[in-house]
Amino acid sequence: MKLLLGVTGSVAAKLTPKLVAAIRANDPGVELVVIATERGRYFFKRVEVDAEFKTDKDEWPEGGYLKGAPVPHIDLGEWADKLLIAPLTADTLSDMANGKADKFLTSTVLAWPREKPIVIAPAMNTRMWTNPLTRRNLQTVKEVYRIRVVKPINGNLACGTTGIGAMAKIDTIVAALAAR
């Protein structure tokens, strides 16, 4: 499988090295490219992630545009079989639902071939998760994309509270990825 992994700015992004290791353990032949948002990459060390790694800088490399240069947000959608976004923030979910494309990851999602599956693992504060705006955004992306939602679980959240909003367990995400 050719897998594109989007990582956004939830504290659960600190689990990215473990998530990548679990994906590889489950499918040793997997070809994996990670796109992290600027906020996402804040939470983990790139060197601990065993995958090709991209950030917004890869969309706009130094030196300016050269005619015929690759257009990564289009090319990656063509290349990948599946997109996993884990963790998915409320912010990036909102961007997806509203067709925003001002980050490498959200440009890739908007240009995503919609017959290809997307798995999302939202993670956020309980009030963000239960906010009607988030519910609406989730409903919208379900209507637009071939999407599987790996729901957040009850847990201790970064904000110091306990409640629904913690990213699902890595095993659950990997199982959802493998499911047809």
Selected binder of ligand FMN within 3, 5, 9, 145 (CB under 6 A): 9
Selected binder of ligand FMN within 158, 163, 164, 172 (CB under 6 A): 158
Q: Which is catalytic among the residues 159, 164, 169, 172? A: 159
The neighbouring-strand residues paired with 128 are none
Per-residue b or e along 111-136, where b marks 16 or more CB atoms closer than 10 Å to that residue's CB: bbeeeebbbbbbbbbbebbeeeebee
With respect to ligand FMN, which residue has the nearer C-beta, 42 or 79? 42
Q: Residue 31's CB: how many other CB atoms inside 10 A?
A: 14
- Under the binding rule (CB under 6 A), the answer on residue 8 touching ligand FMN is yes
Dist. CA 152–CA 7, nearest whole Å: 15
Closest CA to 82 of 133, 31, 113, 117: 117
Q: Check if 14 is active-site.
A: no
Mark the segment that binds ligand FMN (CB under 6 A) among 59-67, 122-130, 140-148, 172-180. Answer: 122-130
Q: Footprint of ligand FMN on this chain (CB under 6 A)?
A: 8-12, 37, 39-40, 89-92, 103, 123-124, 128, 158
Active site residues: 159
